[in-house]
A = this chain, B = another copy of it.
Amino acid sequence: MAVRWLEPDEYDAWRAYRRMRALLDLEITRDLAAHGLSDADYDVLTTLSGQDGARMRIGELASRMLWTQSRLSHHLTRMAGRGLVERTAAAGDDRGAVVVLTDHGWTVLRTAAPSHVQCVRENFIDLMSVGQLKALATVAHRVVDRLGR
């Protein structure tokens, strides 16, 4: 099978995409660190905050975040230790567990969010035209449709 290597334009786009990601990640990490949060912490907090009662089954949270349950379990232990979340029993299934955002978790999230959103805006969203934003969204959705189970 002959390999179809990337054309110059394709290779350039791929490399630029990779570099953008890396730089944006560094910037976001820096921004969140100022509020005492890691990227992972913030993902957990925002994902929970979007749910009714800010609570979720652990397995569901893990699959939503595309994390392994093991990773999430370890991470929740640390976050619970800092008072950001709490583990509670699942109603109707004694095997299951539910994580809930604590008041403190809410407070920290609300404190960090404005600066985070501004960071995303300044360094990503606001650098695009409407057409580019739309192109990005379209492409992203196609990739997600293809790879998302």
B23 in contact with A133 (CB, 8 Å): no
Which among A27, A142, A143 has the highest number of chain B CB atoms within 10 Å? Answer: A143
For chain A, the bracket of interface size reads 35 or more
Q: Which of A8-16, A85-93, A98-106 contacts B (4 or more CB under 8 A)?
A: A8-16
**Interface contact A13-B137, CB-CB below 8 Å:** yes
Residue A34, interface by CB 8 Å:
no
For the complex, give the distance between the alpha carbons of A127 and B143 in Å.
7
**With a CB–CB cut-off of 8 A, which chain B residues contact A146?**
123, 127
CA distance A74 to B86 in the complex (A): 36
List, in ascending order, chain B residues with CB within 8 A of A138's CB. 132
| Min distance, Cβ A16 to any Cβ of chain B, angstroms | 4
- If over half of A's interface residues share one DSSP class (helix, strand or loop), that class is named, otherwise mixed; here it is helix
Q: Which of A104-139 contact B (CB under 8 A)?
A: 113-114, 117-118, 120-121, 123-125, 127-128, 131-139
Q: Give A26's nearest chain B residue, CB to CB.
A: B66
Residue of B nearest to A121 (CB): B4
Residues of B within 8 A of A117 (CB): 3-6
Cβ contacts A to B, 5 pairs, < 8 Å: A3-B118, A9-B137, A20-B143, A23-B144, A135-B136
Q: Which residues of chain A have a CB within 8 Å of any CB of chain B? A: 1, 3-6, 9-10, 12-14, 16-17, 19-24, 26-27, 66, 113-114, 117-118, 120-121, 123-125, 127-128, 131-144, 146-148
